[in-house]
Structure 1
Amino acid sequence: MIELILDPFKYDFMIRSLITAFASGAMLSILGPFAINRNMGFMADAMAHATLPIIAVGVFLGFSISELGVPAAILIAIFLGIIIKNTNVGEDTAIGIIFSSFFALGFVLISLLNVTINLEDLLFGQILAVSTSDVYIVVSLLTIVFLIVIVYFKQLLFYSFDPIGAEVKGLNTTFLNYLFLILLSIAIVGSLQTVGIILVLSMLIIPAAAAKLVTDTFVTSIKVSVLFGVVSSITGLYLSYFLNLPSGPSMSLVATTIFVLAFLSNKIRKKGSLATVTIS
């Protein structure tokens, strides 16, 4: 058993991949509970798809996906925030328009600029190809996200549960909204090489949803979400290594398995509580 666990550490590319998987899993799942609480799943998906034209232009100019992380994240977050705030068509409609149009624009730019991008890797991730500089960038992004969440935790928590109340209390809700959008974009862009555009939403939402089913407080749900996210990423990578499976989908399926187990555990716990109440 120990030999199986240590076997991937024989290879430098697997060590880089494991560190990146850990960082990406933790980074997404820290923000997942906030995203679920604010019903931002569709928004996060739109952010992931909106990265495609920026990636196309960046690769054309000679940058890697990881190097584009922070600038792309800030541009996407600010643009989405402005569009949603200043349109009268409804938030979901605006997000849907951005989602489809930016994704289409990305493919058009890839064709026009004759950019060499492996679309399968971009859509579903290719963590085994991460470089040493990619590892440093993703770990740095995790550190940034973690520190900002700690510093602004109370404000983000208040705004997440009661945006109107937060505004009444004098909090700068516009700043908090854009801050969270930027953090979310950073986490998404920083994780694209791990799980890809299509599956990044699953690693943001599923661990957080599973944690919500088995915890009673928001703070605990964040801790458990991070645990589930990291376990999903690392286990998925191990499955990919030993069974020759695609890494991104493997991570997503492990996260889904954890969610199913959490769902069943929640049902059993509720039945047990109901039986106790009935007997008493």
Structure 2
Amino acid sequence: MSELDLWLVPLLMALLVGVLCPVTGTLLVTQRRVLQANLISHAVLPGVAVAVAFGLDPAIGGVISGLLGSMAAERLQQGQPAGQEAVINTVLAGFLGLGVLLIPVFNIRLDLEALLFGDLLIVDWSDLYRVLVAAAAMALLLLTRYRHLVFLGVDPEGAQASGLSVRNLQLVQSLVTSMVIVSSMAAVGVILVIGLLCAPVLPGLWRVRSLRAAMLQSALVGLALSAVGFLLAVPLNLPPGPLIGVVCMVLLCIPRLRPANPA
């Protein structure tokens, strides 16, 4: 890798993830499914461990594992209507624990710190290509199912009653979300990715009039957050991923970006 690539690839990665994650997060926030994304982000670990053990692409294993975690939670929630959040958190803990256990079982070497918190400074072109594939999948979903996604976010019960196959749509969305999270883990890790999925969506969300406008706004905010986090990390000699997570939290502390309290 040339000296230019050492800085260009991490910067491009940060900017692409900074756009893709907020667009994905806009769907999750408007559909009130952020907890599901948090589950997926933790459920990728067993798949990554299995893929590494068998010499496969860790991204493929992570996507499959994340989707399985989401499907398991959906299935188990059906018998626990009053404790759906508890079910999601239990499945989250179970998949994360399974992933940690599989590392010594398969006797593999896996950098858990980089997996959980990311390491932008060691990404390469293959990581960038994974983000582009995830971005293409998200673009395809939006182009083919945009109106259905709007309906699902505004009135999920009405969408179900109208005959829309909500479960299949959510399954496809979970698959795309898994791809986004796994492709982003090289930049910000599977834990800190939640910050980029959520924080850029919240400022000014109450002002937008359409899902498309909310996505555009969140993408611009996410782009700025990633750029600031990365550019601050270089002179401060700090890891960019965690710093981007901190910048996301700081954003929410700015008063004028929050809706005014009703009188």
Alignment TM-score > 0.5, same fold: yes
Distance of 2:210 and 2:107 partners within structure 1? 50
Shift of residue 159, structure 1, vs aligned partner: 0.9
Partner of 2:129: 136
**SS of equivalent to 2:179:** helix
Equivalent of 2:26, from 11, 33, 53? Answer: 33
- Aligned 1:194-233 pairs, distance under 5 A: 194-212=187-205, 215-233=208-226
Which of 253, 256, 259 is equivalent to 1:264? 256
Q: Could you give the per-residue CA deviations for residues 62-84 of structure 1, whole angstroms, max 9, x where no partner exists?
A: 23433545444443443333333
Q: Structure 1 residues 58, 220: closer, same or farther in 2, change over 3 A?
A: same
Q: Report if aligned partners of 1:122, 1:193 keep a CA contact under 8 Å in 2.
A: yes
Per-residue CA shift, 1:142-179, capped at 9, x if unaligned? 12112212321110110112111112222111211212
Aligned residues: 262
Please identify the structure whose Cα radius of gyration is greater: 1
Gaps of 5+ in 2: none
1:88 to partner: Cα distance: 5.3
> Unmatched 5+ residue regions in structure 1?
1-8, 275-280
Q: Evaluate the alpha carbon distance shift between residue 105 and residue 265 of structure 1 in structure 2; reply closer, same or farther with a 3 A threshold.
A: closer
Q: Secondary structure at the match of 1:117?
A: coil
- Of 151, 160, 169, which residue of structure 1 is paired with 2:153? 160
Question: Corresponding residue for 2:74?
Answer: 81
SS for the counterpart of 1:170 is coil
Displacement of 1:196? 0.8
Which string of whole-angstrom CA distances, capped at 9 and with x for unpartnered residues, describes residues 192-239 of structure 1? 111112211111111111241554543322111111112112221122
Name 1:108's counterpart in structure 2: 101
Q: Does 1:47 align with 2:24?
A: no
Deviation string 1:14-73 (CA, Å, 9 cap, x unpaired) is 211122222222221112122112222222111111111111111112234335454444
Partner of 2:241: 248
In 2, the alpha carbon distance for the partners of 1:69 and 1:107 equals: 14
Retained in 1: the 8 A contact 2:69–2:91?
A: no
Counterpart AA for 2:127: D
The one-letter amino acid paired with 1:264 is R
Of all paired residues, the percent bearing the same amino acid is 27
TM-score by length of 2: 0.89
Classify 1:186/1:81 alpha carbon distance in 2 versus 1 (closer, same or farther; 3 Å). Answer: farther
Indicate the larger mover: 147-156 or 64-73.
Answer: 64-73
In the alignment, does 2:169 pair up with 1:169? no
